[in-house]
Structure 1
Amino acid sequence: MQRWQKKKTHFPLIALIFFVFIAFSILYSESNIQGFHQDHSHQRSTIQDGSFLNSTPAHNFNLSKKAPVVTAAGVSILGTKHEMGLFFLVGFVVGLDKFTTCASTVRYSGKRGVSAVDRAEISDRKESSEVETCDFFSGKWVFDNVSYPLYNESDCSYMSDQLACHKHGRPDLGYQFWRWQPQNCNLKRWNAMEMWEKLRGKRLMFVGDSLNRGQWISMLCLLQSTIPADKQSITPNSELTIFRAENYNATVEFLWAPLLVESNCDDAVDHRMNERILRPDGILRHSSRWEHADILVFNSYLWWRQGPVKLLWSNEEKSVCQEISGLGGMELAMESWADWVTTHVDPLKKKVFFVTMSPTHLSRDEWEPGAEGNCYNEKQPIHDKRYWGAGSDLPTMRMLEKVLSRLGSKVSVLNITQLSEYRKDGHPTIYRKFWEPLGPEKLANPASYSDCMHWCLPGVPDVWNELLFQFL
C-alpha cells in the first residue's frame, strides 16, 4: 500500500495532462448537447420477433442480463462514469487517423477481445403471442403520384448535392412517386407533427456511413417544414452534425462512423484511404458521442465490401497489423458494437435500430439477362418478388442475424434490403454532384461513372424512415 501511495504521489505530470486532455476531448462534443435535453423514459417496443433473412418485421430478441464487457486489455467497462478511467487504467492509446500506417502486416491470428454477449445457439421457437400478423418488409412498390413525394426536393434546406437528382438534371421524376405497400397490411401514414411529438425532449442519432447519412438527410427533409425558421438550426461539427428543433427541445443528428469501430476512415471529409485500418476493440471514440442519444439508428455494410481490411489492436505496440477479409473484419466490429449494446442499452429507456444492407445495382445483367450496363437510365422498379442482386451478400446477412439475435429486445432490425432491391430506378446515376472533374472519356460513357449505390431524394430512404416511424 505504501509503495502504491508513493507512486501515486510522484505520478508524472505529463500523464495527468494526457488524462485531462483525453477526458476534455471526449466530453467536449457532448457539453453543447446535454443541457439541451431533459431525461425521458421510453415505452418498451412491441415490434415482433422473426428472422430478417426471411423479410420479417423489425424484431426484438430476448437476452438475460450479462456481466460487464471485458476488453482485450482485461478491464471491465462498467458504464459512462467509468469510461474516462479506462484510459487511466490501461494507459494512453494513440487513436487512429488518416495518417495511420502499418509497420508490417501479418495474417489474422484469430485474436479477439472477450465478449459479454452470450454465444449460445438461439432457439427458433416462438411464443403464440409473437405470431406475425404483418410483414412490413415484404410487399411491392405501387405508383402513387397523389400522396408522394412526401416533400419537394427544392423545399428541403438540408438537401445534399449528392442526392438532389432533379437539381442535377435528371429529366424523369417517376422515382419520386413510388409508395411501399406491405403485404396484407398498410404502413402508418407519415405525420411530421406526430414524429416530432415522439422526439420531444429527445436525441435521435443516425450513426454509420453515407447511406445512413442519406437516411438522416431524408429525415430532416421530412421534418423541417413543420419547424419555424427561427426555431431550427444545424451545427456541423465534422464527424457529428446536429439539427436542433428548439420548440420541441429535440435534435436529429448524424455521426460519421462507417466501420462503427475506430478506423483511419473516421474523417468525415477526407476518408479515401489506400488501405483501411481499424481498431476492432476500439469503440469508445464513437460510443462516447452516441451513448447519450435516446434513439439510435445504426448501419454498416458497403465499406466492408471493398477487399481485405487491416486490424490494429489497442495493445499492439509496434504497429503490426493483421489482415482479414472484409466480412471477418465486419464481424469483429459488430461484436465490439454488440458488447457496447449489451452493457449500455436499457430498452425501457433507449431505442436502438440496426438498418440492414442497402443494395446496389451495378450490373444490368442481373435483372435483364444478357444486357450490359448498370442502373443508368433505369426508370421502373423490378416487379419480380424473387429478385435478389449479387450486391446483397447472404453470408453477411447471416453473420448479422447471428450477432443481432443475441441482443434480445435491446435492438430492433429495419430490414430494408429486399424492398430496396426492387428499386433499380432510384439511384442518382450521373445526376449528382461529383467531387472530382470527369474527363471526356467518362462523359462519353455515362454508365462508367453512374452512382448505383446512393439514393435520390425524395425516394427510397424516405420509406426507410416511414418504417422507423412505424416502429417508434
Structure 2
Amino acid sequence: MPPASNSPSTAPPPPSAPAATKPRPRHPLGLDSLASTSRPLFAAARRSPVTTLACAITLLALIMYGEDARTIAELSIDDYLYPDADIYNVSGLPPIKLPPPTCDLAHGRWVFDNESLPLYREKECNFLTKQLTCLANGRNDDLWQYWQWQPNNCSLPTFDARRFMERMRGKRLMFVGDSLNRNQFYSLVCMVQSILSKGRKKVVKRGSNTIFHAKEYRATLEFYWAPFLVESNSDDPNIHSIEHRIIRPERIEGHAQYWRGVDYLIFDTYIWWMNTADIKIRRPDSRSWSEHDEVPRIEAYGRVLKTWSDWLNENIDPARTSVFFMTISPIHISPDKWGNPHGIKCAKETLPVLNYTEPLDLNHDMRLYDMVASTARSMKKVPVTLIDITRMSDYRKDAHTSVYSVRRGYLLTPKQKNDPEKFADCIHWCLPGVPDVWNTVLYTRIFSKSPPSSPPALALPPPQ
C-alpha cells in the first residue's frame, strides 16, 4: 500500500447513484437455495438428453428431501458430466516394499524425520475440524509432526495416496466407533485429499455418518459413530451423556444396517468404557433407559464383542469385505509415569518418551485388549485383522491436542488454556500426527491382502 501523500489534494467527486433496480423476487418457503441448485441441473440437461430424466427426478427429490438429496444429486450429475480419474498404472510401478507377514509392527521406536514428514500440512487440509488443528489453535511448537515409527525388525512402506485411492476405486471404507476412530478418519482424508481434483471432493454429515466423497474415484471414506458398537443412549453423535451411559449389549442392528456393503470396515471401542468399573445395561424387555442394571466392565465388553462377532459371521462376505480392529489408543494424564512428576497431564510435552528399555504403564485395561485379540484370533469365517497401535502410541505424550482444542464446540479461552489440569485433552491427537502412522499400518495391512472382489458399482450410503 503506497504511503499517504503530505501535499493537499481535492477529494474525488462522489460516485453517481446507481440506477434504481427492482428488488429480485424471493422464492417462498426457502426455495432460493433450491433455485440456485436447479440452474446447473437444467444446464446439464441441455448438454445431454441422457440427463433430462435424471434431472427431473433429482429436482423432485430436492423438494422432498432437502440437503441429503442435493448431495446425492450433485454426485449423480457428476457421473454424467465429469470423467473419472485416470487409471493409475500400478503395474508399471515398483512393488510396494511390504514387511514380511511375521514382522511385528507394534514394537519399535520413534525416529525423528523432518525430510519425509509430515505427509501433509495442517493448513492445506481444509477438511480438518477445529478439534484437531493444534497449530491454528495456538500451539507454538510443531516437533510432534516429525516422528516416524520404525518397527524393530522391518520397515513400514511409504504411504502412496494414488496407489491407495486406486485400491479404493468404486469402494467404501468405513471407520466405526468413537471419536478416536473419527480422529483417524480425518487423518486418512488429509492423507489422500491432495491428489483429488478441486471441486470433486467433499465431506457430508448425515446422522451418525460422516462421509468423504472422492468423486473421480467413485469412492467414499466414512466414519460411523457407534462408541460402544452396540446400541446405547449415546448414539447421537452430537448430544450424548457422559455420566449416564447405558448400553444394549445384544442389540446392534440399529447401527449394523449401515455397515452392509462396505468394502473395508475398521472398528474400535475402548475409551467410552473407562469412566466406571461397572457398565449400565438396559434390561431386555424394558420400555425406557431408566430400567437398567449394572454389570462389571469386562462382562459387558465380552457380551458386546460376542454380539459384534456374531453379526459379522452372519452378514459379512469375506470375499468382498475386509475387517480390521484398532487396539487401545492411550490417554496421557499421569506424567509421573514417564518421569515428569511435576507435569500436568500431557500439557507442555514436546517430545516422545525415548526410553524404550521397558514399556510404559499407563493404566490401560489390558483385559479389554486381550479380549479383542482373542476374539479376532477366533474369527475363522470372517477374518479380523488386529491393528495394534497401543505400544507405539504409549510413547507419544507430546502429540495430543492438549489445550489447543475445543470444548463443547468452542475453542478454549486463554483462561481455560492456563488450567490444563481441567481442560487439557490428552485423549485426541493433533493432525498431522500419530493417527497418520496408524493409517500407514492400516495401508500396509490392506495391501498385504489380495484385493477383495469388486461389486458392480459403488452404492451411496443409505440416508438416515
Normalising by structure 1, we get a TM-score of 0.70
CA distance in 2, matches of 1:274, 1:421: 26
Residue correspondence of structure 1 range 229-240 to structure 2 within 5 A: 229-240=198-209
Q: Indicate the residue corresponding to 2:361 in structure 1.
A: 389
Give the counterpart of 1:263 among 232, 235, 238: 232
CA 1:321 to 1:220, structure 2 compared with 1: closer, same or farther past 3 Å? same
Paired position in structure 2 for 1:421: 394
Structure 2 counterpart of 1:331: 302
1:398 paired residue number: 370
- CA 1:438–1:136 in 2, change beyond 3 Å: closer, same or farther? closer
**CA distance in structure 2 between the aligned counterparts of 1:438 and 1:244, rounded to whole angstroms:** 31
Q: Is residue 406–residue 412 contact of structure 2 (8 Å, CA) maintained in 1?
A: no
Q: How many residues align?
A: 353
How far apart, CA to CA, are the structure 1 residues paired with 2:314 and 2:412? 48
Alignment correspondent of 1:471: 445
Q: Distance in 2 between matches of 1:377 and 1:287?
A: 41
Q: Which has the higher contact order (CA 8 A, sep 6+)?
A: 1
* C-alpha displacement of 1:313: 4.1
1:222, distance to aligned residue in structure 2 (A) = 0.5
Contact 1:345 1:410 in 2 (8 A): no
Counterpart check, 1:251 vs 2:220: yes
**Separation in 1 of the partners of 2:419 and 2:215?**
48
Q: Secondary structure at the match of 1:352?
A: strand
Deviations 1:83-137 (CA, angstroms, capped at 9, x unpaired): xxxxxxxxxxxxxxxxxxxxxxxxxxxxxxxxxxxxxxxxxxxxxxxx9541111
**Partner residue of 2:383 out of 393, 407, 410:** 410
Decide whether aligned partners of structure 1 residues 163 and 391 sit closer, same or farther in structure 2, where only a CA change above 3 A counts: farther
Please name the residue that 1:242 is paired with: 211
Q: Corresponding residue for 1:111? A: none
Letter in 2 for 1:293: V
The answer as to whether partners of 1:282 and 1:314 remain within 8 angstroms in 2 is: no
| Corresponding residue SS for 1:197 | helix
Residue aligning to 1:311? 281
Residue 282 of structure 2 corresponds to residue 282 of structure 1 = no
| Structure 2 letter corresponding to 1:453 | I
CA contact (8 A) 1:358 1:416 kept: yes
Deviation at 1:407, TM superposition (A): 0.9
Shifted more, 154-163 versus 432-441: the winner is 432-441
Query: In the alignment, which residue of structure 2 is the partner of 1:198?
Result: 167
Q: Distance in 1 between matches of 2:416 and 2:197?
A: 44
Confirm whether residue 359 of structure 1 aligns to residue 330 of structure 2: yes
Q: Does the residue aligned with 1:452 lie in a helix, a strand or coil?
A: strand
Q: Measure how far apart 1:317 and its partner are.
A: 5.0
Tell which structure's C-alpha radius of gyration is larger: 2
Q: 2:171 is matched by which residue type in structure 1?
A: K
Query: 1:153-192, aligned counterparts within 5 Å?
Result: 153-192=122-161
The farther-off stretch of 225-234 and 170-179 is 225-234
Task: Name the amino acid aligned to 2:296.
Answer: S
Paired residues for 1:23-38 under 5 Å: none
Amino acid at match of 2:335: R
Worse overlay, 322-331 or 152-161: 322-331
Structure 1 residue 256, shift from structure 2 partner: 0.5
Deviation sequence 1:212-241 (CA, Å, 0-9, x none): 000000010001111112221222113111
Q: Aligned in 2, Cα 1:324/1:249: closer, same or farther, shift over 3 Å?
A: same
The sequence identity of aligned pairs, in percent, is 38
8 Å contact kept, 1:392–1:417: no
Equivalent in the alignment of 2:266: 297
Q: C-alpha separation between the residues in 1 aligned to 2:430 and 2:313?
A: 35
1:4-57 Cα offsets, whole Å, 9 max, x none, are xxxxxxxxxxxxxxxxxxxxxxxx99x969x989xxxxxxxxxxxxxxxxxxx9
Q: Cα–Cα, structure 1 residues 323 and 133, in superposed 2: closer, same or farther, change >3 Å?
A: closer
Gaps in structure 2 of 5+ consecutive residues = 1-67, 80-97, 447-464
